[in-house]
Amino acid sequence: MQNSIKTHGRMKFAVLAKDSGSLARVCRFETDHGTVETPIFMPVGTHGVVKTLTPAELDDCQVQIILGNTYHLYLRPGLEIIEKGGGLHRFSSWNKPMLTDSGGFQVFSLAHLGKMTEDDITFRSHIDGSQHTLSPEISMEIQNSLGSDIMMAFDECTPYPCDYEYAAKSLERTHRWELRSKEHFDKLKPHYGHQQFLFGIVQGSIYSDLRAKSVEVLTNLEFDGYAIGGLAVGEPKAKMFELLSTISPLLPENKPHYLMGVGKPEDIIQGIEQGIDMFDCVLPTRNARNGTLYTWNGRIVLKQAQYRMDFAPPDESCNCYTCRNFSKAYLRHLYMNGEMTGLRLNTLHNIHFFLEVISKAREAIKAGGFSQWEKEFFKYYPVEDDHWEINTVHREERRRKHLNENDQSRQGGN
């Protein structure tokens, strides 16, 4: 169903088409660095770069917007360098829209290295152990200095599992912090001449009443867009989509909807069905560096011996540079020998695939056939089992290993 184009609020936002059988929709919003058409996937550029790829290659993959990480960029290279470099867009030579997170998620993952009060969070750098403070106001100022087109309000991301009492107290604090974020954001002037926007973040752990309360409170603050945070942090996937089905219909229809940290191709498709417009995740880039490719027929794990003599491209239907020129056998050879070119080719394919999937979803919504397209997608794409318990353990192991390595590095430097 096609809708008339209207703009709403500070951000020029329009709903272009809706699916008659679900909440799926095609929208468009404008920034001074360009227009974004949704649904869209945002590759993660943690340190101001999507690992192994150049801006030109991202452009070739039809990437419309990328994500930068406030915590990491604040610590390294630091605001002084980025400001002197003309802001993150100019510093990184990315001339399209950019979103930055608030830094809160990373700080809370390092909670044992810091202290939280009502006013702020004091934490120690995972790099050198130096002490820093982050608050709603400081987060706004950092993101303002980075110059992102879309900034995120400062919130607390509760872990999983999380009891109701703590989730409720955390949510009240998050609402106070997001109000402070909004008030300070409204006082700031753009550093580099382009307009910046601010999204609020809905929290509430796995409790639907807390989530509904969060939507109500944040809607009254009139953010430029609304993100759903605190999901895909270890809870069963069925629970995540159950919550999404109750949260998404409550979000303002005239603002972008963003599901943070999601996800796998099948999760993105189901998120689109629930009315989500924006997604981000490290999976396509991280898994590419670990030798895993995503295709229309599922995943390819290159280290498996079955690909040693497989001279077909990773995906016969894919038109990316990797699939046009190289075989699975060659990519396996590069991966098994630790060749940097292999990591680049894998990443190039995965980013291209994620953007192609979401582009096809957009086309299907516009044509009024999203439900049928979704059925066809899942007919050929095998959904991975939800090993949420094992994944939670592995996530904690990776975190502890990372912290131990940094502790040893700091001790070695003293």
Strand partners, 100: 68
Strand partners, 13: 29
d(CA 377, CA 383): 10
Six-digit token string for 10: 């500070």
Cβ(132)–Cβ(122) below 8 Å: yes
**Residue type at 17 in one-letter notation:** A
CA atoms within 13 A on the CB side of 175: 18
Strand partners, 199: 152, 225
Which residue in the list 149, 155, 267, 280 is annotated as catalytic?
A: 280
The maximal CA–CA distance of the chain, rounded, in angstroms, is 64
Is 56 exposed, middle or buried (CB count within 10 Å of its CB: 0-12, 13-18, 19+)? exposed
CA nearest neighbour of 55 among 46, 47, 40, 66: 66
For the beta carbon of residue 272, count every other beta carbon within 10 angstroms: 28
Cβ(287)–Cβ(301) below 8 Å: no
Which residue in the list 19, 101, 120, 315 is annotated as catalytic?
A: 101
d(CA 286, CA 21): 34
**Residue type at 278 in one-letter notation:** M
> Is residue 120 annotated as part of the catalytic site, yes or no?
no
Is 392 exposed, middle or buried (CB count within 10 Å of its CB: 0-12, 13-18, 19+)? middle
d(CA 63, CA 268): 16
Cβ(65)–Cβ(55) below 8 Å: no
> Is residue 280 annotated as part of the catalytic site, yes or no?
yes
d(CA 341, CA 263): 25
Strands (E), 256-305: 257-259, 278-281, 292-295, 298-301
Strand partners, 278: 40, 258
Contacts of residue 2, defined as CB under 8 A and 6 or more positions apart, other chains included, come to 16, 17
Tokens 């109701």 identify what position?
164
Q: What is the bridge-based pairing of β-strands 66-68 and 150-152?
A: unpaired
Q: Which residues are catalytic?
A: 101, 280
